[in-house]
């Protein structure tokens, strides 16, 4: 089953839980915005619950209409939903309660065996009030808490229920009689604990509590956490205490706010130089490339003779670029696979295979399952992720964190550029281990990579030009994107961004394939965005792509050309010319992608769409 990530926040402390939970949900709304709800512990043996379909603002309006005096207390939880089971309606919004009204649950993920659990409850005479898979948990926990070995013990009750569930889930549970305790569980879905002075948080993302504390604790697979105002206890589902891994968040609240921009995505586009710098920082020392967490020996890396890159969506496009770099620098074959297809085609893997798994969230379900399949085949796995302590890095043999900071806009921008840089660091690390690059060559390649933040700052100067161009393209029925070599994945990414944000028909093509069919799409006035290769690095490809431009222009296409500064050969054939800094061929996607991000966002804005929250999408896919 396919599903998306929802936003969860829980709090016990000394502040108004209503304020903390609503503020946290506001920072998590990018994870789902089909409905929202809260459940607050008032300390008098009851729960104050409110839910609403639609955006978080709808919930806030209902709370205001009810009156804040009905939502007192210093403990509670909230949820913002991306709908999977059940339509995005009031009755399907979280939290869900049991038949006594005392147990409330919020849930991220999909419970795959919910149908049999629902049938079990209905056979026992329990009437469910929603269409969701989540509600069964509330009733099961309520039943376990009322009688049996877990009677009166909310932690034990959730542990018993969680052990029965199949699928991927984060669950947070409260009980009206337990006003000093909140219990949460996770399996293959994100959950992090925030630890403050006299207050404790649980959330899907540290952004929910970063205003109050930077001290966090990551939860492992099949673990429970019980939080109180004074701290937390982590156990497995059976109740055995387990070790935890505290960490400190290295960004602050301002990184999660718009900072005066019209929308988060534009802010994050402008943050790309810093994201690149942070990703590269510290990864070259003593003449060599250094990874973040490496549990693969140099000899193991030296023995690698094949690489698979597995990823989804935008991360997959970064993987296509990894292929160019790794094959060029290391002279070993690289295959790039959609993670959702990887294990189903029975790929040939072994101890001499490296699987590079790319996931911004570190929780993408298809990529996580690809990692697990690779591990069963004894392949080595290296994760590239933007999320410290997430599941994919935890299950991998080595990790490279992108350190791009929080990305609120659903469509990936700065995380994409950071992934490209990280992919290239992996290529250099392999070249280093295999001896295909001398130390001075590694230093040279890294130095060119380290110069890219300044190049991206330079290309950001084109933003006003591209924003103006978008006003003249927003009525187009379709847009085509063309590229060669590393420009081809850039074309694919440009088309994906336009589809995601502006809901337009957009296709990316390898320009050499134009004459094999796609040229039939060319008609008068059709915008075609062309990524020109470097004159210095690929003069032959440059000439071929120039011929492609002439072909489509002769058939009435409107050409929008992205080319290096000083490329005068293309100017006569460009209806619109966007100039980017001249950089080495492999690094060109780091600058050529930026105008395409701005173009898609601005076209979407002019068409009246929410740039940060495109319809039917949320930040990551955390269940299959």
Backbone φ and ψ for 166, nearest 5 degrees, come out as: -110, 145
CA–CA distances in Å: residue 331 to residues 305, 324, 436, 459: 9, 10, 8, 32
**Rounded Cα gap, residues 287 and 294, in angstroms:** 17
Q: Give the distance from CA 305 to its chain's centroid.
A: 30
- What residues contact 224, with CB distance under 8 A and at least 6 apart? 155, 158, 159, 162, 183, 184, 185, 234, 235, 236, 237, 239
Q: Which residue has the tokens 């959702």?
A: 340
Q: Are 579 and 564 in contact (CB under 8 A)?
A: yes
Q: Are 291 and 399 in contact (CB under 8 A)?
A: yes
Per DSSP bridges, beta strands 103-111 and 167-175 are antiparallel
- Tokens (6 digits) for 476: 């187009």
Catalytic residue numbers read 6, 619
10 strand-pairing partners? 77, 202
Task: Tell me which residue of 29, 33, 62, 57 sits closest to 408, measured CA to CA.
Answer: 29
What is the CB neighbour count within 10 angstroms for residue 418?
A: 29
Helix (H) or strand (E) holding 414: helix 414-434
Task: Tell me which residue of 184, 167, 171 sits closest to 135, measured CA to CA.
Answer: 171
Three-state secondary-structure class, residue 80: strand
């Amino acid at each position: 089953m396919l599903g998306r990530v929802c936003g969860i926040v829980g709090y016990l402390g000394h502040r108004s839980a209503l304020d903390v939970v609503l503020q946290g949900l506001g920072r998590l709304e990018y994870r789902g915005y089909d409905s929202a709800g809260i459940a607050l512990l008032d300390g008098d043996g009851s729960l104050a619950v409110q839910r609403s379909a639609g955006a978080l603002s709808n919930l806030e309006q209902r709370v205001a209409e009810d009156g804040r005096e009905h939502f007192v207390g210093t403990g509670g939880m909230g949820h913002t939903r991306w709908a999977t089971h059940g339509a995005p309606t009031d009755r399907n919004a979280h939290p869900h309660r049991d038949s006594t009204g005392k147990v409330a649950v919020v849930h991220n993920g999909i419970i795959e065996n919910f149908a049999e659990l629902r049938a079990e409850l209905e056979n026992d005479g329990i009437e469910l009030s929603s269409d969701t898979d989540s509600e069964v948990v509330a009733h099961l926990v309520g039943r376990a808490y009322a009688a049996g070995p877990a009677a009166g013990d909310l932690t034990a009750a959730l542990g018993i229920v969680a052990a029965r569930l199949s699928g991927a889930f984060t669950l947070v549970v409260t009980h009206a009689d337990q006003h000093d305790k909140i219990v949460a569980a996770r399996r293959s879905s994100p959950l992090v604990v925030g630890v403050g002075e006299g207050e404790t948080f649980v959330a899907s993302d540290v952004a929910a509590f970063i205003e109050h504390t930077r001290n966090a604790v990551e939860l492992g697979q099949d673990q429970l956490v019980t939080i109180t105002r004074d701290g937390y206890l982590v156990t497995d589902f059976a109740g055995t205490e387990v070790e935890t891994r505290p960490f400190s968040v290295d960004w602050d609240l301002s990184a999660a706010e718009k900072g005066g921009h019209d929308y988060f995505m534009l802010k994050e586009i402008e943050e790309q130089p810093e994201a690149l710098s942070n990703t590269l920082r510290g990864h070259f020392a003593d003449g060599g490339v250094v990874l973040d967490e490496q549990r693969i020996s140099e000899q193991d890396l030296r023995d690698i003779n094949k690489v698979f890159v597995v990823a989804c969506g935008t991360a997959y496009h970064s993987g296509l670029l990894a292929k160019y770099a790794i094959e060029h620098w290391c002279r070993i074959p690289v295959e790039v696979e959609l993670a959702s297809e990887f294990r189903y085609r029975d790929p040939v893997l072994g101890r001499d295979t490296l699987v590079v798994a790319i996931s911004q969230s570190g929780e993408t379900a298809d990529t996580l399952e690809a990692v697990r399949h690779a591990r069963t085949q004894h392949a080595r796995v290296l994760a590239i992720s933007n999320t410290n302590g997430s599941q994919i890095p935890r299950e991998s043999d080595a990790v490279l964190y992108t350190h791009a900071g929080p990305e609120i806009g659903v469509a990936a921008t700065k995380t994409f550029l950071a992934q490209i840089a990280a992919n290239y660091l992996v290529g250099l690390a392999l070249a280093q281990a295999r001896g295909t690059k001398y130390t001075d060559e590694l230093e040279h390649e890294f130095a060119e990579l380290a110069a890219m933040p300044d190049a991206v700052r330079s290309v950001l100067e084109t933003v006003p030009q591209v924003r103006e161009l978008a006003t003249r393209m927003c009525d187009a029925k379709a847009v085509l994107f063309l590229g060669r070599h590393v420009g081809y994945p850039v074309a694919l990414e440009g088309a994906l961004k336009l589809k995601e944000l502006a809901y337009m028909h957009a296709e990316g093509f390898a320009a050499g394939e134009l004459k094999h069919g796609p040229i039939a799409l060319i008609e008068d006035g059709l915008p075609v965005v062309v990524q020109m290769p470097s004159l210095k690095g690929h003069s032959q490809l440059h000439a071929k792509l120039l011929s492609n431009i002439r072909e489509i222009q002769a058939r009435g296409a409107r050409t929008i050309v992205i080319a290096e500064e000083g490329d005068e050969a293309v100017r006569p054939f460009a209806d619109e010319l966007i100039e980017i800094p001249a950089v080495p061929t492999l690094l060109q996607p780091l600058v050529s992608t930026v105008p395409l991000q701005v173009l898609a966002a601005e076209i979407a804005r002019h068409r009246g769409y929410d740039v940060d929250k495109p319809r039917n999408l949320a930040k990551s896919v955390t269940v299959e």
